[in-house]
Amino acid sequence: MATKTTLTRRIIQAGLRGFYRHRTVSLSSIFILTITLSILASFFFFRAIFDYTLTEIREKVDVRVYFTVDATENQIMDVKAKLAGLPQVKSVIYTSREQALEEFRVKHAGDQLTLQALEELGENPFGASLSVLAKDTSQYEAIAQQLQEGSGFLGDQAASVDKINYYQLKDSIDKLNNIIGWVNTVGFWLSVIFILMSCMIVYNTIRLAIFVYRDEIAVMKLVGASNMFIRGPFVVEAMLYGLVATVITLVLAYPATVWVTKKTIFFFEGMNIHAYYMQHFFELALLLLISGVVLAVISSLLAVRKYLSV
Q: Per-residue pLDDT tens for 50-80? A: 778 777 776 667 788 888 888 888 888 888 8
Highest-scoring range by mean pLDDT, 31-35, 70-74, 132-136, 275-279: 275-279
The end-to-end CA distance of the chain, in Å, is: 25
Closest by CA to 28, choosing from 221, 202, 271, 194, is 202
Backbone angles phi, psi at 106, to 5 degrees: -65, -45
Domain 61-175 is found in CATH 3.10.20.30 = no
Does residue 32 surpass a pLDDT of 50?
A: yes
What gap in Å lies between CA 265 and CA 276, rounded to an integer?
A: 12
Which residue spans of the chain are classified as CATH 3.30.70.3040?
Answer: 61-175
CB 61 within 8 A of CB 176: yes
**What pLDDT, on the 0 to 100 scale, is given for residue 306?**
60
pLDDT mean over 35-51: 83
Q: Per-residue pLDDT tens for 176-187? A: 777 777 877 877
**What pLDDT, on the 0 to 100 scale, is given for residue 284?**
92
Highest-scoring range by mean pLDDT, 16-25, 79-88, 104-113, 143-152: 79-88
